[in-house]
Structure 1
Amino acid sequence: MNPEYPSTHNWHIENDQEPMPTAVSWNVRLVNYLIDNIFLALCTSFIMATFFPEEVIAANSMLLVSIMYPLQFAYYFLCEHFFGRTLAKVMTNCYVTTEYNEKPPLKAILLRTLCRHIPFEYFSFLGNGIGWHDKFSKTFVVRKAA
């Protein structure tokens, strides 16, 4: 068990003696990643097809990146700030929280979102299983109680 990541054994609210939810496994994190990225790819494709002629898309290789990155930033930042979860987290019954099972502050969500744009950030899950966007923002993804 990784001591940096919450578990029902060492992660609790001081005023409430019930154990905190267990952090989700890397399998669930991978499913969340895939669902969110498929959704973002569909949104990016829709925007490009709706607002740009095929000739512009074919001639401008940076168009995809100039739409995709701001859209991805807005998606994660707004969803996790206002709702504590993205579409994928809703589908897998998860949410983002702090070590005290509180809504993360705006600064933590901003840092979490910025860290997602570090090149090869997904490799940060190798080893201890904690992504940089979790580690640096001190946030966790846990299952929502039934």
Structure 2
Amino acid sequence: MENIFTDLMTKKTNDELILLVTIDCEKYQPLAVETAKNEIRLRNIDLKKIEELNEVRKEEIAIKKLKKTQKQKEVLKNSANSTLRSINFIIDIVAIFLLYVSIVYIIQKLFNIISTREILFVNRTTVIVVFLLYFILAENIFQKTLGKVITKTKVVNLEGEKPNFIDITIRTFCRLIPFDGISYLYSISGFHDKLSKTIVIKETN
């Protein structure tokens, strides 16, 4: 691997090497960056330009962090209060219950399930599947469930953007944590918000 990097670095221009060890260093593997530094030493390249670009890179990182922090503060200011979230919770639980009852009824009629063991299995499996799919599909596609549609709220990540599928999946499975449903009553975010790094905010025009 090191020999491959060495060959690559020898073919790069001085400016390309300088960019690689400064502004673009996060795009490369540590071994590649170290190999580029060795090539710079061999060529006796002026280090002043490297120092200048490193300062530029530090400033850019600082600005990005500042913008990210400011964005997160704006998102938190617009977060939904516990009353709205309680309404969301109640509406969603009712919606899930109605879906669960409807699906169980259809399954029992289609497959003529009558034994107690089979009924228990269908009931337990259905309620878990309906619960998980309800939140995963609704929040991943629309950023909102039925409850959030009614209260005009939606789920976002900490930067105020649409969460990705993994975030929503983590958020949904974290809802299975005991007392998660009321955890947001004691803080801005509930367990499933904090662990998935998401938050529910009020929609704005």
Normalised by the length of structure 1, the TM-score is 0.79
Structure with greater Cα Rg? 2
Structure 2 vs 1, CA of residues 51 and 96 (structure 1 numbering), >3 Å: closer, same or farther?
Answer: same
Query: In the TM superposition, what are the counterparts of 1:1-40 in structure 2 within 5 Å?
Result: 12-13=70-71, 19-20=74-75, 22-40=78-96
Give the fraction of aligned pairs with identical amino acids, expressed as a percent: 29
1:52 to 105, 108, 131: 108
Q: Deviations over 1:91-113 (max 9, x none)?
A: 11000011211001222111101
2:173 to 109, 114, 117: 114
Cα RMSD between the aligned structures?
2.3
1:133 to 156, 173, 192: 192
Partner of 2:143: 84
Per-residue deviation at 1:127?
A: 3.4
Per-residue deviation at 1:61?
A: 2.8
Per-residue deviation at 1:63?
A: 2.7
Q: Which amino acid aligns with 2:89?
A: Y
Per-residue deviation at 1:145?
A: 0.7
Q: Number of aligned pairs?
A: 132
Question: Which structure would you say has the larger RCO, counting Cα contacts within 8 Å and 6 or more residues apart?
Answer: 1
In 2, Cα distance between the equivalents of 1:139 and 1:115?
12
Q: Larger % of helix: which?
A: 2
Gapped regions of structure 2 (runs ≥ 5):
1-68
Partner of 1:8: none
- Whether the 8 Å CA contact 2:79–2:188 is kept in 1: the answer is no
